[in-house]
Amino acid sequence: MWDRDLGGHERTLLHQSNLGRSCARATGMAANRFPYSFDRVATDYDTAWALPDDILDPVISCIAKLCRGGRLLEVGVGTGRLAIPLQREGVAVIGTDVSRRMLTLGRRKGAESLFLADAHRLPLADKVVRTAMTNRVLHLLSSWPAALAEICRVTSGRYLSVLERASADPDVDAEYIRLVQDAGSNTRRPGIYERELVNQLRPVETFDIRVVDAVVPASYLISMLEKRVYSSQWNIPEEVHRAAIRSVCDKFDGQQVSTRNDGQIVTWTIDSMHEFLEN
């Protein structure tokens, strides 16, 4: 199942005592060095970002086919939203993240091989995994090219991402963002969205994810906004946030929202990614 040995770093990764020391170092730095650690929203993460089974199942089987026989690294693995079903499909997934709480929740749900590590400094030997992926992570990293270069260092074959797309009518989230931006708040994250990377470097393969329509109460979407589960909300001053929540409540509470989820899985070769990062 494993494509290559982890080399000298395997002991650091796999021995609990060493992992404990590496966790202690990483959490000591967390507050300053990892402003986009998801520690603060870990308990709400799985509710806010749940994927319908109609989407999750084909995504998992597509990635499992792409990774057959090789090890997969997910950087910014979170609570194992994708890593856990992939492990259940038999894929040898290693997950890394800077959020201790996200990793703890992932382990509680049954995820294996999760490690506290920064995307820019992966405790892995060169070319030790065949495939690497990030999902909803690069936009959190101001130095995303350095993180991608580090991911390429440890990967021999391909890098992939699941580009989820969601739309809503009426668009409660967009209205909230408009209100806070009009009040002068910056909702932009420091990095690049994986879906924007597609415009900079053409993927070698693209697999469409099926469209799934649903209806949800606006009150549910507002409750997620109210808890500031989205990283775009983390720098908004409290009074601006409160005023925007009051406005969206007045406008949408009691309504039903039609949602549409779809997207693509895209892959790049590590060679093409290297070339892109060098230019």
Ligand X SMILES: C[S@@+](CC[C@H](N)C(=O)[O-])C[C@H]1O[C@@H](n2cnc3c(N)ncnc32)[C@H](O)[C@@H]1O
Taking the C-alpha atoms of residue 97 and residue 78, their distance in angstroms, rounded to an integer, is 6
Taking the C-alpha atoms of residue 100 and residue 116, their distance in angstroms, rounded to an integer, is 7
Residues contacting ligand X: total by CB under 6 A: 22
Regarding 98 and contact with ligand X (CB under 6 A), the answer is yes
Q: What is the DSSP letter of 233?
A: G
Regarding 82 and contact with ligand X (CB under 6 A), the answer is yes
Regarding 118 and contact with ligand X (CB under 6 A), the answer is yes
Q: 34 vs 176, which CB is nearer to ligand X?
A: 34
Which residues lie across from 76 on neighbouring strands? Answer: none
Q: 130 vs 139, which CB is nearer to ligand X?
A: 139
Binds ligand X (CB under 6 A): choice among 6, 13, 26, 49: 49
Tokens for 234? 């983390």
Regarding 137 and contact with ligand X (CB under 6 A), the answer is yes
Regarding 76 and contact with ligand X (CB under 6 A), the answer is yes
Regarding 141 and contact with ligand X (CB under 6 A), the answer is yes
Scan residues 158-187 and list those touching ligand X (CB under 6 A): none
Of 6, 268, 279, residue with least CA distance to 152: 268
Regarding 131 and contact with ligand X (CB under 6 A), the answer is no
Return the range that interacts with ligand X (CB under 6 A); candidates 6-14, 17-25, 34-42, 191-199. Answer: 34-42
Q: Calculate the alpha carbon distances from 11 to 17, 19, 234, 270, 272 in Å.
A: 10, 9, 37, 26, 31
Task: Answer yes or no: are the C-beta atoms of 130 and 70 closer than 8 Å.
Answer: yes
Regarding 78 and contact with ligand X (CB under 6 A), the answer is yes
Of 67, 81, 112, 99, residue with least CA distance to 205: 67
Return the range that interacts with ligand X (CB under 6 A); candidates 55-63, 135-143, 182-190, 207-215. Answer: 135-143
Binds ligand X (CB under 6 A): choice among 6, 13, 34, 265: 34
Min dist. Cβ of residue 66 to ligand X (A)? 16
Taking the C-alpha atoms of residue 253 and residue 221, their distance in angstroms, rounded to an integer, is 10
Angle, helices 16-33/100-108, rounded to nearest 10 degrees: 140
Binds ligand X (CB under 6 A): choice among 71, 81, 130, 189: 81
Which residues lie across from 95 on neighbouring strands? Answer: 74, 114
* Residues near ligand X (CB under 6 A): 34, 36-38, 49, 75-78, 81-82, 97-99, 102, 118-119, 135-137, 140-141
